[in-house]
């Protein structure tokens, strides 16, 4: 699963970045799911989730995005009451199922930041 902050702003760093991993794991457990692999980039999130068949993927993703936005607003935005958190994550997400390629997907998520840096260095050398 991949999703981004609104307007793809580079907001995922520092204390927020450290806090989000814990938040995503806790919210996944509420839906009897588990974060298998995850990595936060400055401008997007990659998560490999194990979701039981009784839950729709859209239900779990919507729950995680919505509740995490509320948590972010309360903890880092100074908002405490009557806030829906609708201003942090952009609408939509990308999701794909993983079967036999799970190890490859997990490695991609784990190594994506280094791969992006390598790609950026290649562009600078041209």
Which CATH number characterizes residue 11's domain?
A: 3.30.70.1290
Residues with catalytic annotation?
108
Range of the domain at 107: 2-124
Through-space distance between the first and last CA atoms of the chain, rounded to whole angstroms: 32
Note the pLDDT of residue 51: 93
Q: What is the DSSP letter of 51?
A: -
Please state which of the ranges 24-33, 36-45, 91-100, 107-116 shows the lowest mean pLDDT: 107-116
Q: Is the pTM of this model over 0.85?
A: no
Total number of domains constituting the chain: 1
Confidence of residue 30 (pLDDT cuts 50, 70, 90): very high
36 in Cβ contact with 106 (< 8 Å): yes
Note the pLDDT of residue 41: 84
Residue 41 to residue 43: CA distance in whole angstroms: 5
Strands 34-40 and 2-3: unpaired
Which residue has better confidence, 75 or 59? 59
35 in Cβ contact with 25 (< 8 Å): yes
């Amino acid at each position: 699963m991949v999703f981004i902050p609104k307007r793809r702003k580079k907001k995922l760093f520092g204390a927020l970045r450290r806090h989000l991993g814990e938040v995503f794991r806790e919210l996944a457990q509420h839906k009897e799911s588990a974060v298998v692999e995850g990595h936060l980039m400055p401008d997007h999130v990659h998560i490999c989730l194990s979701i039981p068949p009784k839950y729709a993927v859209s239900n779990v993703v919507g729950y995680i995005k919505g509740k995490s936005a509320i948590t972010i607003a309360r903890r880092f935005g100074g908002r405490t009451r009557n806030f829906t958190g609708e201003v942090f994550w952009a609408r939509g997400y990308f999701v794909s199922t993983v079967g036999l390629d799970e190890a490859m997907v997990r490695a991609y998520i784990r190594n994506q930041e280094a791969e992006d840096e390598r790609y950026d260095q290649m562009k600078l050398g041209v």
